[in-house]
Amino acid sequence: MSFKKISFLVVILLFSLFNVQNVQASITFTDLASSHPAYDEIQYLIELGVLEGSIENGKRVFKPSDSVTRGQAAKMVVVATGEKPLVVTKSSFSDIDLKKSAALSGYVERAVKLGYFSEYSPGKFAPKTPLTRNEMSKVLATAFQLNIEQTEKLSLPFNDVAANDPYYKYIAAIYYNGITNGTANSTKYSAKDPVTRAQFSSFVARASSDKYRLDLPVQGVHVPNESDAIGKVFVAVDNLNVRSSASSDNATNILGKVNTGKALSVFEEQGYWLKISYNGQYAFVAKEFTKTAQQPVEGTPEKPVEEKPEQPVEVKPEKPTEVKPENPTEVKPEKPVEVKPGKPTEETPEQPTEQPIEIPTTDTETIAIATVNGLNIRESDSASATSLGKIDRGTSVNVLSFAGHWVEIDHQGTVGYVDKRFVRLKNTTENPVKDRIIIIDPGHGGKDPGTMSGQAVEKSIVFKVSQLVQQKLEADGAKVLMTRTGDTYPSLDDRHKFATNNYGEMFVSIHANSATSTSAKGTETYYSVTSNENEKEDLVLATNINNEIVKNASMSNRGVKRADFVVIKNLKIPAVLVELGFVSNEEDRTKLLSDQYIETFAQSIYNGIVEYYGRK
């Protein structure tokens, strides 16, 4: 063959390859609008060569609402994972005609050989059968090599997925890796429902690229740790159902049964339910069939008891006993549920366990702005004293003096006392934080290092930030107290009491975050749900701090959220928990280990606090 002919063939080959790539990149589906929720993910898969669609009546269509079949799904995951179809001379499945579907057969054979799929029934693959959501979970978790062992014991928010379901571990893997968050009803997974072509495209794109993954369910992503428990209860009846979710609508979520006297570690109270640990995972039992002390129970039923009997047989004590925290560490719930308290307004201050800070008067001109409605002006500094009247949120009154939990005020000629926990003290002539009693809580410490990744150790990072925040606030005249001043471990209950006993006016807990996926990054700030009269103040403080960190440290903004972390739960003063960034993410971790960014984080928290006190 001549040189000219060889050159000509090379040119033709190069042109062909170039043309194929351009054709692939220019595919447009006439039945897919750019406003479709899965449009970006579908375009991404077109670029990867995963999707081609079909030609009907001279038009290229995708049919996004049609169910994706097992055969179509097999081809998509093989291409998306960079694999090639097998060369098949004889099909392994009687329902795939090699003459009519030679190309499809190669992809199916490869998908089965790699373990992505199993045969549908003996000798059959069922290529035209719609793929179900439970099958989809196994296909994606296997094909994209998700760490199934890391998440298989984690609790799921879906009340229709039993813990003993053979697909549970695969569903947990795709849920905790941001590939799916369930159906439109977030409490359901609907495992047997078919998956549409658009949905499966979204799932494959998320599995292929972190860019398309959902926000990860970071909070509560861990196996129960006994040291996280807030207390213990004892089962008061035999055959009490233990469930994987807080629901007794059906029996699919029953993990097992426990009998009278069984001790259970409690991690959270969710109304009618207690969140407990059971066989290495979170679970739920009905609160009314438990006791806080191990005592003989009268009237124990002979037959197994369901959570909602018409006539409860438990002999209840006259005064319900609260589950007291023993020595908890921080609890991060997946979906906190409010435990409705009574209506605390002003309570008699607790007696401090250590010498508190008292500032009987102030040299600055100070006003008090009510942060709640219906705040009583008392005749003396006692919650039982006669009410001289009430003021609502936003009302400003003149401050005469303050000590402990009480502020002496003058409101339109009425001199009395208001509970300091329900007012914001504002300096009108001096620095906004002068004389303010601010509690800074460096998370973890001592035996509890917090989350770690390489040289990044949470307890050390947050302590550095907290010290700088303290220095900045004290330079402006604030009275700053740290819940720990070294590498020690005060319990969450200790930190809580520390704030109350020292008459704190604000509580800021500082932490670093972590996730199973290294793509999770950014700053998020939390305030509590329960017993939260000051929730509007919490929201302002959390927003100020979060926005400052995001802006100054160029962090991804994960937003301000509500969650019942034990350390801020039930504090009456404005209280927030700040998650600076993720040690599990390379970009965030670099900043968390940088002295320059440590300074920036501290300055941002300081800015947020000053902005909170300085606003009108």
* Listed residue (33, 29, 34, 26) closest to 61, CA to CA: 29
* Listed residue (283, 281, 284, 290) closest to 232, CA to CA: 290
Residue type, 343: K
Q: Is the pLDDT of residue 367 over 70?
A: yes
- pLDDT at residue 103, as a whole number: 85
Could you tell me what percent of the chain has a pLDDT over 90? 53
Separation CA 49–CA 59 (nearest Å): 19
Residue, of 329 and 178, whose pLDDT is higher: 178
- pLDDT at residue 499, as a whole number: 94
Beta bridge partners of 576: 508
Give me the residue label for tokens 């799929």: 117
Q: Which of 50-59, 240-249, 523-532 has the highest mean pLDDT?
A: 50-59
What's the pLDDT tens digit per position in 293-319? 654 433 333 333 333 333 333 333 334
Q: Is the pLDDT of residue 331 over 70?
A: no
Local confidence band at 226 (pLDDT 50, 70, 90 cut-offs):
low
Residue, of 281 and 188, whose pLDDT is higher: 188
Separation CA 33–CA 204 (nearest Å): 20
What's the pLDDT tens digit per position in 534-582? 889 999 999 999 999 999 999 999 999 988 788 898 888 999 999 999 9
Task: Kindly give the pairing relationship between strand 387-391 and strand 506-513.
Answer: unpaired
Q: Is the pLDDT of residue 341 over 50?
A: no
Separation CA 569–CA 576 (nearest Å): 10
Local confidence band at 336 (pLDDT 50, 70, 90 cut-offs):
very low
What's the mean pLDDT when you consider all of the chain? 81
- pLDDT at residue 484, as a whole number: 95
Local confidence band at 224 (pLDDT 50, 70, 90 cut-offs):
low
Q: Is the pLDDT of residue 320 over 70?
A: no
Local confidence band at 159 (pLDDT 50, 70, 90 cut-offs):
confident
Separation CA 52–CA 72 (nearest Å): 11
Name which of 122-131, 213-222, 309-318 the model is least confident about: 309-318
Domains along the chain with CATH numbers? 26-212 (no CATH), 223-328 (2.30.30.40), 366-427 (2.30.30.40), 437-614 (3.40.630.40)
Name which of 128-132, 266-270, 297-301 the model is least confident about: 297-301
* Listed residue (315, 316, 287) closest to 301, CA to CA: 315
Q: Is the pLDDT of residue 221 over 60?
A: no
What's the pLDDT tens digit per position in 57-115? 999 999 999 999 999 999 999 999 999 999 888 899 999 988 888 889 999 999 999 99
Q: Is the pLDDT of residue 470 over 60?
A: yes
Residue, of 367 and 16, whose pLDDT is higher: 367
- Tell whether pTM > 0.85: no
Q: Is the pLDDT of residue 401 over 70?
A: yes
Give me the residue label for tokens 């719930």: 333
Inter-residue contact 203 to 146 (CB < 8 Å): no
Separation CA 345–CA 16 (nearest Å): 78
Residue, of 577 and 250, whose pLDDT is higher: 577
Give me the residue label for tokens 């093989």: 78
What's the pLDDT tens digit per position in 572-601? 899 999 999 999 999 999 999 999 999 999
Structure tokens, 210 = 């972190």
Could you tell me what percent of the chain has a pLDDT over 70? 80
Structure tokens, 88 = 């098949």
Local confidence band at 150 (pLDDT 50, 70, 90 cut-offs):
confident
What's the pLDDT tens digit per position in 437-469? 999 999 999 888 888 988 899 999 999 999 999
Q: What is the CA radius of gyration of the chain?
A: 30
* Listed residue (107, 166, 112) closest to 134, CA to CA: 166
